[in-house]
Amino acid sequence: MDNEQKERYWHTSSHILAHAVKKLFPDIKLGTGPAIENGFYYDFFLETPFTPADMENISKEMKNIIRQNIPVEKISVSKDKAKEMLKDEPFKLEILEGIQADTVTFYRQGDFIDLCEGPHIQSTGEIKHFKLLHTAASYWRGDENRESMQRIYGISFPEKKDLDEYLLFLKEAKERDHRTLGAKLDLFSLHPEYGSGLIFWHPKGALVRKIIEDFWKDVHLQKGYELVNTPHIADISLWEKSGHTGFYQENMFAPIQMDKKVFQLKPMNCPFHILIYNTKLRSYRDFPIRWAELGTVYRYEKQGVLHGLMRVRGFTQDDAHIFCTETQIEEEVIKVLELVTFFLGKFGFSDYKIFLSTMPEKFVGSPDSWEKATTALGNALKKTGMAYEEDPGEGVFYGPKIDIKIKDCLNREWQCSTIQVDFNIPERFDLKYTDTDGSFKTPILIHRAILGSIERFFGVLIEHYKGNFPFWLAPEQIRILPISDKHLAYAETVLNIFEQHFRTQIDKRGEKINRKIRDAEDEKVPYMIIVGDKEEENNTAALRKHGEGMIGTFTAEDIIQKLKTSKI
């Protein structure tokens, strides 16, 4: 099915769901029921939520409706007539109010009728195989102040094999889940009883993190950034000055009282970088100033939004702040975008979405500055040839931004890179530079993060690679497996050679070689080196690759050469 066919198919599936629910629960009020990227849902308003038994009955009733192969017909009526038809459906009426046209369309299948733009497939019998996946609460119109609806999600396909395939995908996604793999591969843990949303990096995870961070720092230094380091807390007056105690308060940890002072754990790094900026008078000749920091911030997130490494309460941003003039924005953003492409490419990502968010209703700065900055961001995107979508009105109040989102194993999108122009903070801190004519001007501040948060990025990375980190990132690159204890001494001499070049371990357990191989494969070590009588006699090593099997027997020098030149 192409996308349009899918949409029809799933949209009609959602109508069948609503049809069944209406039949079983006549008093229920209908919300909306669209096709989504993977399947469909329908929102209902009812007093008591659906039970698992209800779900089974609904499923049975849907099969009934499908079996009857009821034709789906489109009906156009005047808005007044529609109002009459929907008098018992308050939510539908609300939607109707919002429609501008004079005539609206309904779709009818048997005794079920729904205000709907369509399109739909011809008949309910075309829905061959479906499964209701789960229920959840949602807010009417996505507004947390409005009614709470009960949502039922489902998926359907014309062929059984497609449904089976999709269910298998869901199962595999679970195995790919960074939370499962993180525990299995001994990368990190959480200890919610001592604070939810806080990450404990185990030795292997911390090693991968170090590799990422070292690489990140090296590249930044090469690309004209300077590194800075700043504290984790500061007097609350700093946050009053930056405005965070006002507009960001609900995301901040509670203040810490100490002696006669009140300190605040930092939710962002920018005010600190600004303090560094203000330690002396800057000139246009210094620009652009690019300061980068792996800065750990703490944000209070609502309990229900926490999710493994992806959404946490303490995380390290790969942050940087660029101080420049308005005319430098475009060039700087191009450089950042190039850096984004470089980093994401290095980590194996090519499938991501880019959004340009423009001026929201509430904003600071002049509309003229917004216009210029937004154009600069758009031009930068165009010049780098990156496809993007506009997200009108979704900018932060202090400036327009570019967001880049990467998908996880369940197709959920996670924002990693972000580039934000800020008109607010330079004003608040009275930032100045001396321009060519000797006058004082206020610089533009660009906030940017490429990986976003190290925690989230690591989570996406684990899922992306299914735990099979590429050779350069693998915490343990090579494991030496002696056939028996007799070969331990030789294994040690092989280790001595390899550990000069790669992260190498020996499996010294008194297990059989099959077991050692199985465990090394399970633990996703990229290469295994097996040594026994034959190897010891010939002064060689047998090389085995994760997921592929035996490669051959070579001298240690040969293997090192091959691994270094990626010729395997």
Partner RNA sequence: GCUGCUGUGGCUCAGAGGCAGAGCACGUCCUUGGUAAGGACGGGGUCAUGGGUUCGAUUCCCAUCAGCAGCUCCA
Considering the rule CB under 7 A, would residue 383 count as an interface residue with RNA?
no
The identity of residue 183, as a single letter, is A
- Taking contact as CB under 7 A, which single stretch among the options 27-35, 100-108, 334-342, 508-516 is the one that binds RNA? 508-516
The letter for the amino acid at 27 is D
The 409-438 site mask, x for binding RNA (CB under 7 A), equals -x-x-xxx-x--------------------
300 conformational bin, left if phi > 0, alpha if psi -120 to 50, beta if neither: beta
Neighbours of 521 (CB within 10 A): 14
Contact with RNA (CB under 7 A) among 3, 279, 303, 566: 303
Applying the rule CB under 7 A, the residues between 31 and 50 that interact with RNA are: 49
Instruction: Point out which span in 16-24, 219-227, 362-370, 540-548 binds RNA (CB under 7 A).
Output: 540-548
The least CB distance from residue 48 to RNA, in Å, is: 8
Burial class for 88, CB neighbours closer than 10 Å (0-12, 13-18, 19+): exposed
Nearer to RNA, 514 or 566 (CB): 514
Q: Which of residues 122, 196, 493, 561 is near RNA by CB under 7 A?
A: 196
* Shortest distance, position 122 Cβ to RNA, whole Å: 29
Helices (H), 413-548: 424-428, 454-465, 488-498, 513-522, 533-538
Q: Which residues contact 387 (CB under 8 A, 6 or more apart)?
A: 354
Q: Which of 372, 370, 422 is nearest to 393 (CA)?
A: 370
- As a whole number of angstroms, the distance between CA 399 and CA 421 comes to 5
Residues 312-371 that bind RNA (CB under 7 A): 312-313, 315, 317
Residues between 384 and 413 with contacts to RNA, criterion CB under 7 A: 396, 403, 410, 412
Residue 538 contacts RNA per CB under 7 A: no
When the beta carbons of 70 and 531 are compared against RNA, the nearer one is 531
User: Cβ distance 157 to 166 under 8 Å?
Assistant: yes
Residue ranges in 50-69 that form contacts with RNA under rule CB under 7 A: 51
Residue 314, beta-bridge partner list: 298
| CB 220 to RNA: min, Å | 18
The residues, any chain, with a CB within 8 Å of residue 168's CB and separated by 6 or more, are none
* Least distance from RNA to the Cβ atom of residue 265, Å: 13
Which of 1-9, 91-99, 107-115, 301-309 is the region at the interface with RNA (rule: CB under 7 A)? Answer: 301-309
CB 35 to RNA: min, Å: 14
Residues 115-174 that bind RNA (CB under 7 A): 134-139, 142-144, 148, 150-151
Per CB under 7 A, which of residues 437..466 are in contact with RNA?
449, 452-453, 455-456
| Phi/psi at 130 (5° precision) | -140, 165
Q: Does 301 bind RNA (CB under 7 A)?
A: yes
Identify the residue among 2, 547, 557, 565 touching RNA (CB under 7 A): 547
At its nearest, how many Å lie between RNA and the CB of residue 546?
7
Interaction with RNA in 5-24: which residues (CB under 7 A)? Answer: none
d(CA 299, CA 396): 17
Give the Cα separation of 474 and 86 in Å (integer).
60
CB of 76 to RNA, least distance (A): 30
* β-bridge partners, 115: 106
**Distance in angstroms (rounded) separating the CA atoms of residues 519 and 542:** 17
The string of DSSP letters for 170-196 reads: HHHHHHH-HHHHHHHTT-EEE-GGG-T
C-beta of 525: minimal distance to RNA in Å? 11
Choose between 310 and 336: whose C-beta lies nearer to RNA.
310
Tokens representing 330 are 């475009």
Per CB under 7 A, contacts with RNA among 461-500 are 483-486
Q: Which is nearer to RNA, 537 or 557 (CB)?
A: 537
User: Which of 265, 339, 356, 517 lies at the binding interface for RNA (CB under 7 A)?
Assistant: 517
Closest CA to 452 of 344, 305, 362, 308: 344
Residue pair 402/381 in contact (Cβ under 8 Å)? The answer is yes
Q: With binding defined as CB under 7 A, does residue 518 bind RNA?
A: yes
Beta-sheet strand order (sheet of 413-422) = 226-227, 289-298, 314-324, 444-453, 413-422, 401-407, 352-357, 389-391
Instruction: Report the residue number, 126 or 521, with the smaller CB distance to RNA.
Output: 521
> Where in 208-267 is the site for RNA (CB under 7 A)?
none
Residues counted in the chain: 568
Among 120, 209, 311, 503, binds RNA (CB under 7 A): 311
CB 112 within 8 A of CB 60: no
Q: Which of 514, 557, 566, 567 binds RNA (CB under 7 A)?
A: 514
In the complex, the smallest distance separating the C-beta of residue 482 from RNA, rounded to whole angstroms, is 7
> How many residues sit in the footprint of RNA (CB under 7 A)?
78
Determine the interface stretch with RNA among 1-9, 65-73, 340-348, 513-521 (rule: CB under 7 A). 513-521
Catalytic annotation, residues: 270, 299, 317, 319, 321, 401, 447
- Residue 206 in contact with RNA, rule: CB under 7 A: no
Candidates 88, 240, 430, 533; binder of RNA (CB under 7 A) is 533
Per CB under 7 A, 522 contacts RNA: yes
Q: Among 336, 294, 339, which residue's Cα sits nearest to residue 318?
A: 294
> Which of 128, 307, 346, 466 is close enough to bind RNA by CB under 7 A?
307
* 3-class SS letters over 126-165: HCCEEEEEEEEEEEHHHCCCCCEEEEEEEEEECCHHHHHH
Binding part of the chain for RNA, among 20-28, 91-99, 297-305, 466-474 by CB under 7 A, reads: 297-305
Q: Indicate whether 197 belongs to the interface with RNA (CB under 7 A).
A: yes
